[in-house]
Amino acid sequence: MLQENIDYYINEDGNFVFTKEYHLKRGYCCKNKCLHCPWNYGREKQDGQTKK
């Protein structure tokens, strides 16, 4: 069972937003570029490297 403020929260627009903890419990990336994706799917690298 999902727990509010642990697995998800409801944002100012009334949408459910899943947390990093929820994604880790689920155990895989859905490849939907989730806001709290622990696998950083769809995010740019933060190490300063650029693609050539």
pLDDT tens track for 1-52: 999 999 999 999 999 999 999 999 999 999 999 999 999 998 887 666 555 5
CA-based nearest residue to 32, from 17, 51, 11, 45: 17
Contacts of 43 (CB under 8 A, 6+ apart): 33, 37
Q: What is the pLDDT of residue 45?
A: 76
**How confident is the model at residue 48, as a pLDDT?**
61
Specify the pTM.
0.75
Secondary structure letter of residue 32 according to DSSP: S
| Distance (Å, whole) CA 36 – CA 17 | 8
CA distance 13 to 22: 20
